[in-house]
Protein backbone atom coordinates (compact mmCIF):
# COMPACT_ATOMS: atom_id res chain seq x y z
CA UNK A 1 0.00 0.00 0.00
CA UNK A 2 1.32 3.44 -0.96
CA UNK A 3 0.24 6.74 0.49
CA UNK A 4 0.48 10.50 0.29
CA UNK A 5 0.36 12.55 3.48
CA UNK A 6 -0.70 16.18 3.11
CA UNK A 7 -0.19 18.38 6.16
CA UNK A 8 -2.59 21.30 6.38
CA UNK A 9 -4.33 23.59 8.87
CA UNK A 10 -6.79 20.86 9.83
CA UNK A 11 -4.04 18.38 10.70
CA UNK A 12 -3.34 16.13 7.77
CA UNK A 13 -5.04 14.20 5.01
CA UNK A 14 -3.99 10.79 3.74
CA UNK A 15 -4.54 9.39 0.26
CA UNK A 16 -3.78 5.68 -0.13
CA UNK A 17 -3.63 3.34 -3.12
CA UNK A 18 -2.38 -0.13 -3.96
CA UNK A 19 -0.03 0.04 -6.96
CA UNK A 20 -0.16 -3.74 -7.41
CA UNK A 21 -3.91 -3.73 -8.13
CA UNK A 22 -5.23 -2.46 -11.45
CA UNK A 23 -8.69 -1.20 -10.60
CA UNK A 24 -10.50 2.01 -11.52
CA UNK A 25 -10.33 3.12 -7.87
CA UNK A 26 -6.57 2.55 -7.70
CA UNK A 27 -5.95 4.33 -11.03
CA UNK A 28 -8.04 7.31 -9.84
CA UNK A 29 -6.14 7.51 -6.52
CA UNK A 30 -2.78 7.36 -8.33
CA UNK A 31 -3.85 10.12 -10.75
CA UNK A 32 -5.10 12.24 -7.82
CA UNK A 33 -1.84 11.77 -5.89
CA UNK A 34 0.20 12.76 -8.95
CA UNK A 35 -1.99 15.85 -9.47
CA UNK A 36 -1.73 16.88 -5.80
CA UNK A 37 2.07 16.54 -5.81
CA UNK A 38 2.42 18.52 -9.05
CA UNK A 39 0.14 21.27 -7.73
CA UNK A 40 1.98 21.40 -4.39
CA UNK A 41 5.32 21.83 -6.13
CA UNK A 42 3.89 24.67 -8.22
CA UNK A 43 2.74 26.38 -4.99
CA UNK A 44 6.28 26.19 -3.53
CA UNK A 45 5.83 23.16 -1.29
CA UNK A 46 8.59 20.62 -0.85
CA UNK A 47 7.86 16.95 -1.42
CA UNK A 48 9.58 14.14 0.42
CA UNK A 49 9.60 10.48 -0.47
CA UNK A 50 10.35 7.57 1.83
CA UNK A 51 13.48 5.75 0.66
CA UNK A 52 14.89 2.86 2.69
CA UNK A 53 12.93 3.92 5.76
CA UNK A 54 13.90 7.61 5.65
CA UNK A 55 12.30 10.62 4.02
CA UNK A 56 14.39 12.48 1.47
CA UNK A 57 13.47 15.57 -0.54
CA UNK A 58 12.21 14.47 -3.94
CA UNK A 59 12.11 16.50 -7.14
CA UNK A 60 11.79 13.58 -9.54
CA UNK A 61 8.86 12.09 -11.38
CA UNK A 62 5.99 10.70 -9.37
CA UNK A 63 6.43 6.98 -8.65
CA UNK A 64 3.12 5.28 -7.81
CA UNK A 65 5.03 2.34 -6.31
CA UNK A 66 6.81 4.53 -3.73
CA UNK A 67 5.93 3.61 -0.17
CA UNK A 68 5.11 7.13 0.98
CA UNK A 69 5.18 10.77 -0.08
CA UNK A 70 4.73 13.79 2.17
CA UNK A 71 3.97 17.35 1.16
CA UNK A 72 5.78 19.97 3.21
CA UNK A 73 4.28 23.45 3.07
CA UNK A 74 6.63 26.43 3.24
CA UNK A 75 6.68 28.20 6.60
CA UNK A 76 5.69 31.85 6.55
CA UNK A 77 7.69 33.99 8.88
CA UNK A 78 7.60 37.58 9.84
Q: What CATH number is given to the structural domain containing 61? A: 3.10.20
Domain count, the chain: 1
17: nearest Cα among 52, 72, 69: 69
Residue 78 lies in a domain: no
DSSP state of 74: P
pTM, to two decimals:
0.88
Q: Which domain holds residue 46?
A: 2-72
What does the pLDDT look like over 27-62, one tens digit per residue? 999 999 999 999 999 999 999 999 999 999 999 999
Residue 67 lies in a domain: yes
Residue 9 lies in a domain: yes
Residue 47 lies in a domain: yes
- Could you write out the DSSP letters of every residue in 52-68? TTEEEE--S---TT-SE
Amino acid sequence: MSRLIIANRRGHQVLEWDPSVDTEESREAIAEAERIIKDARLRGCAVSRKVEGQHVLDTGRFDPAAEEYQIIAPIAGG
